[in-house]
Amino acid sequence: MGADWIKGAALYLKERDPILAKVIDEIGECTLKPSNDYFGALARSIIFQQLSRHAASTIYKRFIDASGGALTPESVLSMEKRKFKESGISERKADYLIILAEKFASKEIDTELIENLSDEEIIEKLTAVKGIGRWSAQMVLIFSMNRPDVLPLGDAGFKRAVKINYNLGPSPSEEEIKKIAEAWRPYRSIASWYMWQTVNR
C-alpha cells in the first residue's frame, strides 16, 4: 500500500459513519507509521502485560538500558539473568522474552516471510509463542505492520472508547461492537486508532 492509503481510509470512514466522522475531524490526520521491528513490539507487549502504563514504561526503559540501548533478539539472549530482575522484569516474563528472542534468532519467526501471511495466519503463528496472546499479535498487525482491517476486541481502551463515543451501556458486548464496526470495513484498524485517540488524550 502507498503512503496515502490511510488518508483515503479516513475519507472513506467519514462517509460511512457520522459519529466517526466527527472524531476524525476533531483528531485530524492518522499518524500510524509502519515499522518492521516486530521483535521489539512483541517484547514491549510482554513487558507491559498486567502492569499500569507508568510502571511498565519505567521497567521498559530500564530494560532497554540494560540491553545496551537496542532491544534485539541478540541483546536479550546475551543478557545475564540478573539484569532482567534488576530491570524489574519477573522471572516468568524473562522466560517469555528469552523464548521470543530464540524464535526470532533461529528464524522460526522470520520477519520477511511473516509479511506474506494473512492477518489470521500471523496471529496463529505469533500466539504459538509462549507469552504472546491475540491482543499482542493484533497490536503488531495494527501498529507495526499497519494492516488495515484489524478489530482489537480484546483491548480495554478500545472498548471503552466505543462505549463512550456510541453511547452504549456500561458493559457493551463484543457483538454490539462488531455491529458498529461493520461500517468500518475494510479499514477497522484506522477506525480503531481514532477510537483510541479519544480516550488517550
Q: Tell me which of 37, 95, 119, 155 is the catalytic residue.
A: 155
**CA geometry: angle 123, 96, 32, nearest 5 deg:** 45
Q: Which one-letter amino acid corresponds to residue 78?
A: S
pLDDT at 1: 58
Check residue 201 and give its pLDDT.
75
Q: What is the structure's pLDDT at 52?
A: 86
Domains of the chain: 5-33+150-200 (1.10.1670.40), 38-144 (1.10.340.30)
Question: At 33, phi and psi to the nearest 5?
Answer: -135, 135
Coil, strand or helix at 201: coil
Examine the residue annotation and report whether 37 is marked as an active-site residue of this protein: no
The pLDDT of residue 200: 84
Per-residue pLDDT of the chain (201 residues; tens, 9 = 90+): 556 899 999 999 999 999 999 999 999 999 999 999 999 999 999 999 888 889 999 999 999 999 999 899 999 999 999 999 999 999 999 999 999 999 999 999 999 999 999 999 999 999 999 999 999 999 999 999 999 999 999 999 999 999 999 999 888 999 999 999 999 999 999 999 999 999 987
C-alpha cell at 125: 503463528
**This model's pTM is above 0.85:** yes
**Euclidean distance between CA atoms 139 and 48, whole angstroms:** 12
